[in-house]
Structure formats: C-alpha cells, structure tokens
Amino acid sequence: MTWLPAWLRAYRPSWLAGDLTAGLIVTVMLIPQSLAYALLAGLPPEVGLYASILPIVAYALLGSSMTLAVGPVAVASLMTASALQPLAAAGSAEYVTLAVQLSLISGVMLLAFGALRLGFLAYFLSHPVIGGFITGSAVLIAVGQLKYIFGVKVAGSDVLETLTGLVKALPQTQPVTLTIGGASLLFLLLARRYLAQVLTRLGVPAKAADLMTKLAPMVAVIASTAVVAMFKLNETAGVSVVGNIPQGLPQLNLSLPGMSTLGQLWLPALLITLIGFVESVSVAQSLALKRQQRIQPNRELLGLGAANVASALSGGYPVTGGFARSVVNFAAGAHTPLAGVISAALMALVIATLTGLFYYLPHAVLAATIIVAVTSLIDLQTLKEAWHYDRADALSLVATALGVVALGVEVGILTGVVLSLGVLVWRSSHPHMAVVGRVPDTEHFRNVARHAVQTVPGLLALRVDESLFFANATVLEDRVEALLSQDATVRRVLLICSAVNQIDTTALGVLTQLERSLAARGIEFMLAEVKGPVMDRLRPTELGQRMQQRVFLSVHEAFEYASQTNSAALRPG
C-alpha cells in the first residue's frame, strides 16, 4: 500500500465531511468554468470537461498540496489559443489534436523538470513579470470575450484589431444576446460585490455566504439556459448556444506530436509550463501556509506533469492549479485531495449523463463568466507597491503587460523576461562604491564622505558593494582612474572586497590589467577582505600570483601595513 499517497494512508473519517462539501462546491464552479475556458481556448466544450476529470486524480496521487484545485484555467487557455491559432482553425479536429499534444508536451516538460530538479527555471520569472503577464492576459481575455456578449462575429489577431472590429460590428449586435449577456455580467458583478453582505444580513453565516457567492456563475448558467430553452431563443433570436456536447466518458488515447509539431509547440509549451507551475505553486503555497503545511516544488512538478499527461491521454488540454477554485476548495473545508477526486467523479457523472442539459446554455453567459473571473486577475496593487518600492521593477511590470496586450502572450512574456534580466544587469552595473577611512580608535571603516574618519597618506581605500562581473568591472576601473586623477599623491590603491561574492572572467581580466597599469605608474594595488571562495579561485591566476603579498585579511591589517611602511602617520579625515 506504500504506493498510495501519504494523505490517503493517513486518512481520518473526520475529514470526509469537509472533503465531500468542498468537492461538491468546486464541481458546481468547475462545470461553467470548464465550458467557458474551453470556449476561450477555441476548443469544443467537451474538451474542457475532459480536462476536469483525470488530471485532478493524477494530481491527487502525486502532488504535494492538500487543497490545490487542478483543471482548466483562464491564462493557460488563452496561451493555448495563442499557440494554436496560427497552426489550425479554432475548433477543428486538427486544432483539438494540437491542444491535446500541447498538454502532453507540457506534461512531459513538467515531469522532466521534476526529475532533473530544474524547477529553478521558474525563478527566471520575477514577480513583476508574472504580475504584468497576468494583468495583460486578463485584459486580452476580457476584450476577446466582448464579441460573445454582443453576439457579433469579430476576427482580430490583436487587441486593437479586435476592438475596432467590435466597434464596426456593433450595428449587427443581437439585442436578445446582448440582454442575456449584459444581464449575466451585471448579475455576476453585483453578486461578487454585494451577495455575501446581503446573505450575511439575512442571517447566513459569513463563511457560508462567501461560498454561496462563488456559486453565482452556476445560477446564471441555469437561469439563462432555462430562459433560452423555454423560448427557443437560439432559433427565434439567433442566440448562440453551446449545442450538442458528446455524451460519455472520454476515450483514452495517446496522440504523439511529430517533429514539426514539436518544433512549433515547444516554446508555447515551455511558457505554459513555467507560468502554470509558478502560478500553481504560489496558490498552493499561500494555502498551505495557512495550515502550517509545506509545498515541495519538485513534487508539484511531478503532480502537475502527471495531470497534464493525464489530460492529454483523456482528450483534454493544458491544465494547472487554478486560483479561484483552490481558494474555494480550501474555504469549503477540503482537507485532502480526496475533495478533488470527488469533484472528478462528479464531473465524470455529469459528462456521462447530463451533457444534454447544456444544449441551450448561451455563449454570452460563458463569456460573462470569463470576463468577471479575469477582471479579478488585474492586479494594480502590485503595480502600486512596486512603483513605490522599485521604479525599474514597476516599469518591467507595465512593459510586460503592454507587451502581452500589444504583441501577444509569448512575445509579451519574453519581453518581460529579457527586461527583468536587463534591469538586473543594469543595476549591478552601477555598483555602490565608497572611499573609506578608519573610525578613530576602532577597527571600523566608513565612507569618508559621511563620517569623520582617518586616512593614511598615499592610500586610497575603496569599497565596492557588488560582485564584480562583466557589466561593472569597467565601471570600477573608471572609478579608480578618476580618483587617481583627482589625487596625484596616491601611491597605494586598496580594494575592499567584503561585498564581492563573485569575480567573473571579465572582471578578473580588468583587475589584472588595472594592477599592471598601476604597477607601471609605481602604484601598489592591494586587496582586503576577499571572501574564501573568491580567494580560492583567484589564487592560481596571474593576478593572484602577482598579488600574493598584498591580499589582507582585514581592512585594519591593510591600513596597518600601509601606515607602517609609510613615514607619515594617520592623518585625520
């Protein structure tokens, strides 16, 4: 029985009530969401349902979060659409096959990253880049859904084209569709804003009221489906509806991508993989912390990888941990992934018997569900905080969001990654440097510009507060030369390396040249407080050999040496 997950082996009967309730509530959220996100991904509705059964079970067996709700999510659906639209017509059999294969590729990548412990790749996505990406994606998604609310046809490959197309198509607005879509949108927005308050005043406990709010989309789905079915609005008023969904459980089937498909899908799959992983782990972690549980990133890679492979096997598309459903799952009392397994079983039941009920479900209501869901992803708070804390990070966020909106999800996120790397290099290329002197009667050394300190005549002591590498080595050299040109009496240059964690080949070259150039002018180059690992690598180099006698353990020792070998005493700063 050791192959069973730990939570199942340790299962306590007292957990069952919570898991059952959570499983049920999540299912009621999952039905409209899985249909809506399939629509967003350009896929037939059943693909969304398929992606909501086996992946949950697979994650339950391998993942490390007790409460993460895996399945179709908005951002991965958008990324799927963006990856596949250049390759096949949305909704076509080829398009569905590509979506299934995209899920397989992403699943295999996740498993490989887990096996090779490459989860750190996700660290290349900084918070501002992820925040900007999610916000930009939310705008892109919301704008893309407006056509369903108005009941018009709009083809546009970017936001501007979509919006202008929408404005041009407004005269063709279908009034009944707009009424249904608009009413749903209004209902969902009002429900999110006020329903919990109203219910609490009516005497419903606060927690239950909160959960009931999450069921509003299902209410909109049921009500609108009933109205459309009653008046056959799909025939009489041209309301676009979901239509036939094939009934029955998905067939298990493995569709392997060919080399050319691999070539086209690897980059989108990688981005879906990384974004999905980061988002999923951050949700899982924030929930786990509330119960003193731990998330193991490598286990998450395996769990999400298995979920995506399971999705591909059962005709689904890329899945990951969703924010809203996970939070509800947690709040509804889920203790273990059994809640997810119950959801999966209920979804299987629905797809095996009840798909006919969705025939009259209007696309406009699904679009309203999506729009309301994604507007909560627009994150201006992070932007505000970043703006105050770190202007460059805030600009990365804005650039990523604009990049996503204007240039699409892939170019957008790559822009963000390149920008955040650029910011990193730019920052490190402007290191803080200070000329230091000794605080009188101590072994402490401080910036001569800020403190009354003592200096040794002829000694220039410079502290550099950054690792030395290609982007800042020349800056250091320039600074030394500038200081020398200001003070012709300098006979010794001491570089204090207490904050230098690394010296790369380029910086080593610059320092070597600096030492030689100083030596040619009769100026002695000295080092102090070189960290152990840095010194170990420096020792066998040409510079290390030449400097042997001039590397001091502490600044104090270097000052002692300089003042002893110097006729003049310490002069007050």
How far is Cα 78 from Cα 39, in angstroms, rounded to an integer?
10
How far is Cα 417 from Cα 314, in angstroms, rounded to an integer?
33
> Which residues ranging from 161 to 190 are in contact with a second copy (CB under 8 A)?
none
The residue within the footprint of a second copy, chosen from 421, 439, 448, 535 (CB under 8 A), is 421
State how far the alpha carbon of 178 is from the alpha carbons of 182, 233, 435, in Å: 6, 12, 69
The residue within the footprint of a second copy, chosen from 520, 549, 567, 568 (CB under 8 A), is 520
In the complex with a second copy, the residue whose CB is nearer, 261 or 467, is 467
Judged by CB under 8 A, does residue 529 bind a second copy?
A: no
In the complex with a second copy, the residue whose CB is nearer, 485 or 549, is 485
Judged by CB under 8 A, does residue 125 bind a second copy?
A: yes
The residue within the footprint of a second copy, chosen from 21, 467, 491, 556 (CB under 8 A), is 467
How far is Cα 218 from Cα 205, in angstroms, rounded to an integer?
21
How far is Cα 226 from Cα 221, in angstroms, rounded to an integer?
8
Question: In the bound complex, what is the minimum distance in angstroms from residue 498's beta carbon to a second copy?
Answer: 7
The residues that bridge with 503 in the sheet, in sequence order, are: 468
Residue range at the interface with a second copy (CB under 8 A); choices 28-36, 69-77, 356-364, 500-508? 500-508
Q: 């009769």: which residue's tokens?
A: 522
Residue range at the interface with a second copy (CB under 8 A); choices 32-40, 186-194, 207-215, 529-537? 529-537
In the complex with a second copy, the residue whose CB is nearer, 212 or 421, is 421
Question: In the bound complex, what is the minimum distance in angstroms from residue 537's beta carbon to a second copy?
Answer: 6
Question: In the bound complex, what is the minimum distance in angstroms from residue 476's beta carbon to a second copy?
Answer: 11
In the complex with a second copy, the residue whose CB is nearer, 267 or 424, is 424
Judged by CB under 8 A, does residue 123 bind a second copy?
A: yes
DSSP 8-state symbol, 570: -
Pairing of strands 492-496, 69-71: unpaired
In the complex with a second copy, the residue whose CB is nearer, 60 or 468, is 468
Judged by CB under 8 A, does residue 485 bind a second copy?
A: yes
In the complex with a second copy, the residue whose CB is nearer, 186 or 289, is 289
* Burial (Cβ within 10 Å: 0-12, 13-18, ≥19) of residue 270: middle
For residue 71, report the phi and psi dihedrals to the nearest 5 degrees: 155, -165
Judged by CB under 8 A, does residue 157 bind a second copy?
A: no
In the complex with a second copy, the residue whose CB is nearer, 508 or 558, is 508
Judged by CB under 8 A, does residue 557 bind a second copy?
A: no
In this structure, which long-range contacts are made by residues 207-216, counting pairs with CB atoms below 8 Å and at least 24 apart in sequence?
207/331, 210/331, 211/25, 211/328, 211/331, 211/332, 214/25, 214/29, 214/324, 214/328, 215/25, 215/28, 215/29, 216/187, 216/188, 216/191, 216/192
Q: Which string of x and - marks every residue 236-275 that binds a second copy (by CB under 8 A)? A: ----------------------------------------
User: How many residues bind a second copy, per CB under 8 A?
Assistant: 63
Convert 354-386 to b/e letters by CB count within 10 Å (16 or more is b): ebeebebbbbbbbbbbbbbbbeebbbeebbeeb
Residue range at the interface with a second copy (CB under 8 A); choices 54-62, 285-293, 336-344, 557-565? 285-293
For residue 447, report the phi and psi dihedrals to the nearest 5 degrees: -55, 125
Judged by CB under 8 A, does residue 505 bind a second copy?
A: yes
Q: Could you tell me which of 508, 481, 494, 506 has the C-alpha nearest to residue 551?
A: 494
Judged by CB under 8 A, does residue 390 bind a second copy?
A: yes
Question: In the bound complex, what is the minimum distance in angstroms from residue 29's beta carbon to a second copy?
Answer: 26
The residue within the footprint of a second copy, chosen from 2, 14, 251, 292 (CB under 8 A), is 292
Q: Which string of x and - marks every residue 326-365 that binds a second copy (by CB under 8 A)? A: ----------------------------------------
In the complex with a second copy, the residue whose CB is nearer, 188 or 464, is 464
Judged by CB under 8 A, does residue 120 bind a second copy?
A: yes
The residue within the footprint of a second copy, chosen from 52, 126, 184, 563 (CB under 8 A), is 126
In the complex with a second copy, the residue whose CB is nearer, 390 or 560, is 390
How far is Cα 312 from Cα 321, in angstroms, rounded to an integer?
16
CB 465 within 8 A of CB 479: no
How far is Cα 464 from Cα 496, in angstroms, rounded to an integer?
7
CB 338 within 8 A of CB 11: yes
Q: What does the DSSP assignment read for 157-224?
A: SSHHHHHHHHHHHGGG--HHHHHHHHHHHHHHHHIIIIIHHHHHHTT--HHHHHHHHTTHHHHHHHHH
In the complex with a second copy, the residue whose CB is nearer, 269 or 383, is 383
Judged by CB under 8 A, does residue 432 bind a second copy?
A: yes
The residue within the footprint of a second copy, chosen from 424, 449, 452, 553 (CB under 8 A), is 424
In the complex with a second copy, the residue whose CB is nearer, 1 or 520, is 520
Q: 């990856």: which residue's tokens?
A: 83
In the complex with a second copy, the residue whose CB is nearer, 87 or 421, is 421
How far is Cα 44 from Cα 127, in angstroms, rounded to an integer?
33
Q: What does the DSSP assignment read for 20-88?
A: HHHHHHHHHHHHHHHHHHHHHTT--HHHHHHTTTHHHHHHHHH-S-SS-EEE--HHHHHHHHHHHTTTS
**How many angstroms separate the most distant Cα atoms in the chain?**
104
CB neighbours (10 Å) of residue 171? 7
The residue within the footprint of a second copy, chosen from 537, 545, 553, 571 (CB under 8 A), is 537
Judged by CB under 8 A, does residue 76 bind a second copy?
A: no
Binding site for a second copy (CB under 8 A): 120, 123-129, 286, 289-290, 292, 294, 297, 385-386, 388-390, 393-394, 420-421, 424-429, 431-432, 465-467, 469-475, 478, 481, 485, 498-499, 501-502, 504-506, 508-509, 513, 516-517, 520-521, 531, 533, 537, 540-541
